[in-house]
Structure 1
């Protein structure tokens, strides 16, 4: 996409460049979330500057490709669903943020459903997920999904054995039905080690910006690590179907996991760059009798910074 600018443009282009750099600062701010802590509550050093620069350079390149994918989804009226599953603190939220960070929320949205209420517990199990599926030209990312039944509900005893077995009978047909209807369904499992989850939970305990992420369910999941492992293995074995296979992301290194997942996703969607017409910025219409009214001082936010 190209833009037509007025000729006195050197200063203007410098300002646009500064604004562009400012927009990338969001990623540097989000990097605070990658801080890690040891068992003594001491901050672990971040990786060296050269690796950080390479990470950001590649991330921004991939995000540029995601914008092209988004344009293609809208133009082709494609319907894309991406499921993100994994243990607590596996890094699902981090990659979801990087995917959606530069995209239009009207095109690409996240579905992160809370625990079902009393009414939803009596519905057909998949019913509350169906309303979040995409229409033509939309992308939906599920931060956890209907696979809750195969994981946390099974391990924590929130479903009966009959409900658990019915889920495995139903989910392959449910997903085949989605694919037949024209939805592309991509399923990711984020895999981390026992030691890595332990380290990330310590980070949530010691970092005041992360403590809200630590729930009683997270603490219980640590105790039941082996139960979750058995549930995960059964889930992958029984729901890995040709129409919607599982893809496992090695996620011990958060940054590598993000790049690998986004790069893989781009390779699964048959997108191409959509040409855009040149945009000419119109001149503002000015009227001699227009007078801008001053804003009262008591309405202004104090400029403390």
Structure 2
């Protein structure tokens, strides 16, 4: 009899803990706040083709899957922001908010309230976070594309695209305010610390590239191995190089970022390259890339009189959770 009672208590405890988990899961809380018609717009099957159909241009130019901020009430928007905040670091969430707010700046500059709208950012779910061990979601709009995959609570975020236009606000009460400035300044710090021989290795093109090379490709393979290797830098330069990589990792939650940096340092550090094209001072077009065995970073600031930044992190084996999906099916009974 005691065994039956203990078994019952164990089952009840598991059910209760599962209930608490799903109630406190920000994704579940957000989805539970939606009406049925909103859920139908926001939720897709895990393998839906729109999952990998991404872009960074305004939503009026490239319609996004899912439900937009404009279609949510204030409470639903609050819950969505809680989900985004919980899935990024404090730094990452701050950058995302500032990028969205730049739509207000662009609207004031251009007078175009149709294209420049801070509520034209959309969220889409692939699979069900309440019932599925493997699911994903995205948050996307002008200059933001964040693609999350979750397997048994383990999260990956790739591709990660963040952009800024204007990169430096040119006028008004916020004149001089910069967004994505550390990505830019650390790049300048590194290229300008190189001696002539090192710079000859690092600079692979005299003129800047006008756009990230990989654009909005679904799959990305390593680009041509250009630039100077980490192992060819002195200790001070290596420290700046690691700070630059860390700035891109800092978008992710701290534990994820630390684990990825540890993996990079242990498995591919000596072979990582830093390549530069264009001017080496602010206000003129410039581009750089950082490429390792497993990842690619691209940065460009050439458009709009060199006041328009695009940045992206791509994982060769992990974009859109490819590595987690492979792991899931390798360990699944139904693969």
Assess same fold via TM > 0.5. Answer: no
Higher relative contact order (CA 8 A, sep 6+): 1
TM-score (norm 2): 0.29
Which structure's residues are more often strand, by fraction?
2
